[in-house]
Homo-oligomer: A and B are copies of this chain.
Amino acid sequence: MNLSISKYSLIILLTLSPLFGQKIRPRNMGLEIGLFKTGKWNAITDVKGVLVGHETLILGDSVRTGVTIIKPHGGNLFEEKVMGAVYVTNGFGKALGFTQVEELGTIETPIGLTNTLNIFLVANAIVDYMILGNPNIRSVNPVVGETNDGGLNDIRGRHIKKEHVFTAINNAMSGPVMEGAVGAGTGTRALGFKGGIGTSSRILPPEAGGYTVGVIVQTNFGGSLMINGAPIGRELKKSPFSSSIPYDEDEGSCMIVIATDAPLSNRNLKRIAKRVNHAFGRVGAYSSNGSGDYAIIFSTFKSTESDELTVDRTELKNRAMNGLFMATVEATEEAIINSLFMAETVSSKYGTSEALPVEETMKILKKYKALNWNKKLYPWKR
Contacts and interface: CB of A to CB of B under 8 A. Distances in A.
Given A286-B322, A310-B317, A367-B369, 11 more contacts: A91-B99, A92-B104, A95-B99, A116-B139, A138-B148, A241-B322, A263-B310, A274-B277, A281-B282, A286-B325, A312-B313
B248 A320 contact: yes
A19 interface: no
A301 to B, nearest CB: 10
Interface of A: 35-36, 88-100, 102-105, 116-117, 120-121, 123-124, 127, 131, 137-142, 148, 150, 155-156, 158, 205, 207-209, 224, 226, 228-231, 234, 237, 239-242, 247-248, 250, 263, 265-267, 271, 274-275, 277-282, 285-290, 292, 294, 306, 308-323, 325-326, 329, 367-370, 373, 377-378, 380
Q: How many copies does the complex hold?
A: 4
Contacts of A98: 98-99
B229 A231 contact: yes
B138 A150 contact: yes
Contact of A277 (B281, B306, B321): B281
A209 B309 CA distance: 7
Most buried by B among A131, A311, A377: A311
Contacts of A292: 99-100
Contacts of A294: 99
B88 A93 contact: no
20 contacts: A89-B274, A90-B271, A90-B274, A91-B102, A92-B103, A94-B96, A94-B100, A104-B318, A117-B131, A209-B309, A228-B229, A234-B373, A242-B380, A265-B267, A277-B280, A278-B280, A278-B281, A278-B286, A312-B315, A368-B368
